[in-house]
A and B are shown apart, each in its own frame.
Chain A
């Protein structure tokens, strides 16, 4: 069964360092999402791509976070510099075009970030 691949699964870093997460969506899924899930909370959308274009990054802290999906396939989320409050699970999800509104997202296992 096709899955969304994410790496690394776990990352420990010190504050002010740079960190990057990678996501490979399910083949054929044009829509890609990055969510942040703080422990005990629901996921919150950081950025949504349709192919290589950003369609929603309104909740992305653009002073320190950046995201790209250059060829419309895999994607990278970067944080520089990391802050203590960035400790969370970073989830990547993908969906077929038009199926996001019905919640038919496929999530990866996530990248857990700990900032010391």
Chain B
């Protein structure tokens, strides 16, 4: 079992829909939880990160972390064609003076006009 599991999709939604993207993980030591957006042939860019459990909102994006269920989500409201990209979850844990960032496989999202 991989440490971070993410459904690769693809996921196709109409413009204006609410999108829900999810990851599960097995390592209860993970402390920080991130979501990245990666456009085709580009590097990932950080959308947001959260520490421990809870919600965080940034514009149309909301990240949720449920550590008891080892489950994280990213919600996109009023989705736009420009949101079409691959969304990667990632998690980190520190220890012995260093840290490890572990990525999911990514979910490919298409928002249809």
Contacts and interface: CB of A to CB of B under 8 A. Distances in A.
B101 A103 contact: yes
B43 interface: yes
Contacts of A109: 41-43
B49 interface: yes
A44 B90 CA distance: 11
**Interface range on chain A (Cβ under 8 Å from partner):** 20 to 34
A4 B43 CA distance: 10
Interface of B is mostly: strand
B41 A103 contact: no
B103 interface: yes
Interface of A is mostly: loop
Contacts, number: 65
Contacts of A43: 44, 88, 103
B32 interface: yes
B45 interface: yes
B69 interface: no
Nearest to A98: B99
A106 B44 CA distance: 8
B92 A102 contact: yes
Given A40-B8, A42-B105, A91 B43 contact: yes
A72 interface: no
Given A43-B103, A91-B43, 5 more contacts: A42-B106, A45-B101, A56-B98, A103-B36, A107-B43
Interface of A: 4, 40-45, 48, 55-56, 91, 93, 100-110, 112
